[in-house]
Amino acid sequence: MKDILPDEYKYWNLVIKKASELSKAYGFRRVDTPVLESWELFERSSGRSSDVVTKEMFSFIDKNNDKIALRPEATPGIVRAYIEHGMFNLPQPVKLFWLGPVFRHDKPQAGRFRQFSQFNLENIGEPSPVADAELIAVTYYFFRELQIDVTIQINSIGCPLCRKDYLVKLENFYKERGRRVKLCHDCKKRLIKNPLRLLDCKEKLCVEMASEAPQIVDGLCDDCRNHFIKVLEYLDELDMPYNLHSTLVRGLDYYNRTVFEIWPTPAESQATKSADAAAPKKDELPRQAALGGGGRYDGLVEYMGGRPTPACGFAIGLERVILKIKEKNIPLQDEEKGDIFLAQLGDQARRKIMKLFEVLRKAGFNTRQAFTKDSLKSQLEIANKMGVKYTLILGQKEIMDGTILIRDMESGIQEIIDYKKIVAEIEKRLGNPAK
Which of the four pLDDT bands, split at 50, 70 and 90, describes residue 281? very low
Secondary structure (DSSP) of 181-234? HHS-HHHHHHHHH-GGGGGG--SHHHHHHHHHSPPGGGG--HHHHHHHHHHHHH
The pairing of strands 403-408 and 367-369 is unpaired
Compute the radius of gyration of the chain from its Cα atoms.
28
CA dihedral 341, 344, 349, 352 (to 10 degrees): 10
- What DSSP state is assigned to residue 306? S
Q: Where are the domains of the chain?
A: 6-159+221-327, 340-430
pTM for this predicted structure: 0.80
Residues 105-114, mean pLDDT to the nearest whole number: 74
Per-residue pLDDT, 105: 83
On the question of pLDDT at 277 being above 50, the answer is no
The answer to which of 212-216, 413-417, 427-431 has the lowest mean pLDDT is 212-216
Binding site members: 73-75, 104, 118, 122, 250, 254-255
Please tell me the CATH code under which domain 6-159+221-327 is placed: 3.30.930.10
Compute the 3-state secondary structure of the chain and give helix, strand, coil in percent, each to the nearest 5: 45, 20, 35
Query: Which CATH number is 340-430's, of 3.40.50.800, 3.30.360.10, 1.20.1640.10, 1.10.150.120?
Result: 3.40.50.800
Residue type, 135: L
* Residue 334, pLDDT score: 63
Q: Is the pLDDT of residue 345 over 90?
A: yes
Exposure of 259 by Cβ count < 10 A (0-12 exposed, 13-18 middle, 19+ buried)? buried
Please tell me what DSSP assigns to residue 72. Answer: S
Q: Residue 434: what pLDDT? A: 64
User: Quick check: 143 pLDDT over 80?
Assistant: yes
* One-letter identity of residue 66: D
For the chain, give the mean pLDDT: 86
Strands (E), 54-192: 59-61, 67-70, 94-103, 115-124, 150-156
Residue ranges of the binding site for L-histidine: 73-75, 104, 118, 122, 250, 254-255
Helix 347-362 vs helix 422-430: crossing angle, to nearest 10:
50
The sheet with strand 311-317 has its strands ordered as: 29-30, 94-103, 115-124, 311-317, 292-296, 256-264, 150-156, 242-244
Statement: residue 286 has pLDDT above 50: no
Task: Please give the full DSSP string across 244-263, using - where no structure is assigned.
Answer: E-TT---S-TT-EEEEEEEE
Quick check: 141 and 119 in contact, CB under 8 A?
A: no
CB 118 within 8 A of CB 318: yes
Q: Is the pLDDT of residue 340 over 50?
A: yes
- Residue 244, Cβ neighbours under 10 Å: how many? 21
